[in-house]
Structure formats: structure tokens, C-alpha cells
Amino acid sequence: MTTLYARELEIALLAVQRAALLTRRVFRESAEQKGTVSKDDASPVTVGDFGAQALIISALRHNFPRDAIVAEEEASVLREDTRLRDRVWGLVRDTKLSDIGAEGLLGGAVPDVDSMLHLLDQGQSQGGRIGRVWTIDPIDGTKGFLRGGQYAVALALLEDGDVKVGVLGCPNLPVDDSAPLTENIGLEVGNDKGRGVLFAAVKGEGATSRPLGTGTLAEGHKIHMKPLIDMKNACFCESVEAGHSNQSEAAKIAQKLGITKPSVRMDSQAKYGSIARGAGDIYLRLPTSKSYQEKIWDHAAGDLIVREAGGLVTDTRGNRLDFGVGRTLASNSGVVAAPSAVHSQVLDAVQEVLGLKK
Ligand SMILES: Nc1ncnc2c1ncn2[C@@H]1O[C@H](COP(=O)(O)OS(=O)(=O)O)[C@@H](OP(=O)(O)O)[C@H]1O
Ligand SMILES: [Mg+2]
Ligand SMILES: [Mg+2]
Ligand SMILES: [Mg+2]
């Protein structure tokens, strides 16, 4: 199929694949020492987050030098801590796709440590409603990554605030689209067998899944949300951290809908990928505070992948997620993602429990 965004999609898939290789190396080779530092908001960042972001920005700068970039991390900690900087540099220097042609498409290696720091700082765009903006979450679910659970490398292209291309690399999800959804918290180091998926979507062209490889891209195949015939059997996903989504309200909503299965708690946008391929059905993210604004890099790729797989994604007020208002989803509150046919029923229950019904 010819796609309007064929080149963007190919580069995004390869860039995410290469960054995911780097994160896997960090997990394998630095089981005890992931170079974790605490950010100003007390959330963790590791050498894997920095390294993955530098590699993705390098690929984007090589291919699309005029596009803006909104990325989660920046280099200031590394400019102060040279030991940490050198660990990240070692990873960035040594992580390559196994196929020379594919690596060449990404522009090859980052030349030196200063270029790496410079690249890391190229993700500070304020985003907005105009033009092309890439948004990067180099490791989404850093806490999941640290505990050997689910995490995702997330990349999306926005055009005038609308998501056109979304890619999620999920190194710890089963390759098999029909594998049952489990929490997978605490995978053993090196136990990658049968794991690693790349999800992707282009606006208007559907969503796909393929194995996460090390060189040229594997063939993708179309994925679809599962038709939810009986709400009783629905499987809903939510965050592992109670601070990221209100779990007691989610339980009340599930009860109201007649869902009998316990929720599956999973870190990162792996939740969006999992419901998009029918391994789960519903993803709820319920605000835990009025002041927290969701970040665009935590949702852009997942939002498009679910919608292109036959789902609807809104906030708890029933509005589409608006990626055109800056680095955060300032005009939204929470996330309700479900198959289109049942989304209004799920949203009704959410609004009743949250007291949002007019
Ligand atoms: N208070 C609050 N509310 C909502 N979301 C928050 C909050 N604080 C942080 N974050 C963001 O949550 C991202 C991880 O979300 P998850 O769904 O993976 O959460 S969890 O790890 O499963 O608990 C996480 O993404 P990463 O930092 O990329 O891991 C954060 O951007
Ligand atoms: Mg973070
Ligand atoms: Mg994130
Ligand atoms: Mg992150």
C-alpha cells in the first residue's frame, strides 16, 4: 500500500527499533546499575532514557532537519555528571542496527560526545497547532523498565496538532498478538525469547504489529481491537503506579460496567498497544490530581494506534485528546480508550463514578 507518510513511517520504525536495542542492552548489561537519577519532579531517568532519546533525535535530524521536536529528556544532568555522560556515550556510540542499509537510513553513528549532548537538547520545542512536530518518549514507563516490567519507546509525528504517524516499540511484550495479557512484572534479565513488538499506525491507513528486530524491518500485519460482545468478560488495563491513575475509581467503574475480571496493571503505552491488538479491551487513566497535566509524548503514538485499530480515545469529559496545545494535554483530563462500539457505555460509567454527569 502506498502511504502518504511512507518515509516518515520507515524512519520512525527503524529509529524506535535502534533505540529499543539500546534499552535492552542497558537492561542486560547493567542489571544492578542503570544509572538512575531523580528528576526535579522526583521521577526517575536512566542512561537508557538519555541514550534512546539521543539516537532517535539523531535519526530525525538526519532525515527531517526542519521538523520541530518535543522530547521528554534533556542533557543538563549529563553536562554536570561526566561519569554518567560517558556511560550514555558508550551506549550511543556502540548501538547500531545490524543491517548497514538500515543504519545508513538513520544517518549512521553520532560523531562525538558533544554532538550527543547537543542532540539531546534538541527536543525542547513547545509544540503547538502549526507545522510538523515529532514527539518522543525514549522510555515510557521508566519505572516498569527498572523493575523488568513493561515499557515502550514511543515516537509520533503531529501535523498541525493532529497525529499522523505513531510508533511504539515494546521490548517486553510477547510477539504473539493473541498471547494473554499478563502483568509481566519482573522479567528475568536476558529472557527476551518471544518478546519484543513494534506497533505502528498511519492516519487513515490502519494499525500494524511486527516483531521488534535488530536490522531491516520485519513485515507488519494489520491489528484490530477485539469486538467486545459481553462487557462481563472485558479486560481493562491501568497504570501500575497508583499515583498515575486512580485505581479505586477504576474498580468502581469496572463494577458499574459489570466487568468481573480484575484489572491488568501494566506500565507504559504498552497498554494502548495491547488493547489495539485485542489482547485487552479498555484502558482507563483517571486523574489523581487536578494540577497534573498529561504529557503529549505519553499518549500521541498510543492514541493513533488504538484509533486506527478500531477504537475511540477520549478524555474523561468525552473530548478527543488535543495534541496541539503545547507539550502537555492541557485541555484534557485523563484517558478513556475502548472499542468504538462500547466507548459511550464506558464513558457513561466513568462520568457517573467521577461525578461528571450533567
Ligand atoms: N501524577 C501523574 N499522573 C499521571 N501520569 C504521571 C504522573 N506523574 C508521572 N506521570 C507519567 O506517567 C508515565 C508512566 O505512565 P504509566 O501508565 O506507565 O504509569 S505506570 O508506570 O504504569 O504507573 C510517566 O512516563 P515516563 O516518565 O516516560 O515513565 C510519566 O510521564
Ligand atoms: Mg519520565
Ligand atoms: Mg512516559
Ligand atoms: Mg519517559
If pLDDT is split at 50, 70 and 90, which confidence band does 357 have? confident
Residues touching ligand 1 (Cβ under 6 Å) are: 43, 72, 137, 140-144, 239-241, 243-244, 267-268, 288, 292, 295, 298
If pLDDT is split at 50, 70 and 90, which confidence band does 37 have? confident
Residue range 132-191, pLDDT digits in tens: 999 999 999 999 999 889 999 999 999 999 999 999 999 999 999 988 887 765 566 556
> What is the arrangement of strands in the sheet containing 195-202, beginning at the earlier edge strand?
68-71, 132-140, 152-159, 162-174, 195-202, 207-211, 221-223
pLDDT (0 to 100) of residue 273: 98
Q: List, by residue range, all CATH 3.40.190.80 domains of the chain.
A: 231-354
pLDDT (0 to 100) of residue 29: 78
Is residue 1 pLDDT above 70, yes or no?
no
Give the residue among 121, 50, 120, 57 at the shortest CA–CA distance from 87.
Answer: 50
Angle at 96 between CA 91 and CA 101, to 5 degrees: 165
CA distance 238 to 244: 9
CA distance 116 to 216: 24
CA distance 225 to 163: 19
Phi, psi of 146 (to 5 degrees): -65, -35
What is the total residue count of the chain?
A: 358
The count of other CB atoms within 10 Å of the CB of residue 77 is: 17
CA distance 329 to 335: 11
Residue range 284-340, pLDDT digits in tens: 999 999 999 999 999 999 999 999 999 999 999 999 999 999 999 999 999 999 999
pLDDT (0 to 100) of residue 184: 60
The catalytic position among 23, 49, 95, 314 is: 49
Rounded to the nearest angstrom, the distance between the alpha carbon of 358 and the centre of ligand 3 is 32
If pLDDT is split at 50, 70 and 90, which confidence band does 193 have? confident
The three-state secondary structure class of 169 is strand
Is residue 30 pLDDT above 60, yes or no?
yes
Q: Are 278 and 224 in contact (CB under 8 A)?
A: yes
**CATH top-level class of 231-354:** alpha beta
Angle at 160 between CA 297 and CA 204, to 5 degrees: 80
- Average per-residue pLDDT for the chain: 94
Mean pLDDT of 214-230: 95
pLDDT (0 to 100) of residue 203: 98
State the pTM of this model.
0.96
Phi, psi of 70 (to 5 degrees): -115, 105
If pLDDT is split at 50, 70 and 90, which confidence band does 197 have? very high
Q: Are 179 and 279 in contact (CB under 8 A)?
A: yes
CB-proximal residues (5 Å) to ion ligand 3 = 137, 140, 298
CA distance 133 to 170: 22
Which atom from ligand 1 is nearest to the alpha carbon of 139?
28
ipTM score for this prediction = 0.95
Is residue 31 pLDDT above 80, yes or no?
no
| CATH of 6-223 given 1.10.3720.10, 3.40.1440.60, 3.30.540.10, 2.60.40.10 | 3.30.540.10
Mean pLDDT of 209-225: 97
Give the contacts of 270 (CB within 8 A, at least 6 positions apart): 141, 144, 150, 151, 152, 168, 170, 172, 173
Residue of the CA atom closest to atom 10 of ligand 1? 244
Give the contacts of 12 (CB within 8 A, at least 6 positions apart): 155, 157, 165, 167, 200
pLDDT (0 to 100) of residue 135: 98
Q: Are 39 and 103 in contact (CB under 8 A)?
A: no
pLDDT (0 to 100) of residue 27: 86
State the Rg of the chain over Cα. 19
Output the 3-class SS for 283-329: EEECCCCCCCCCEHHHCHHHHHHHHHCCEEEECCCCCECCCCCCCEC
Lowest mean pLDDT among 120-124, 177-181, 251-255, 302-306: 177-181
pLDDT (0 to 100) of residue 43: 78
The catalytic position among 142, 208, 314, 316 is: 142
Q: List, by residue range, all CATH 3.30.540.10 domains of the chain.
A: 6-223
Which atom from ligand 1 is nearest to the alpha carbon of 268?
18
List Cα–Cα distances, 239 to 74, 83, 142, 263, 346, in angstroms: 25, 33, 12, 10, 18
Instruction: Note the maximum CA span of the chain.
Output: 59
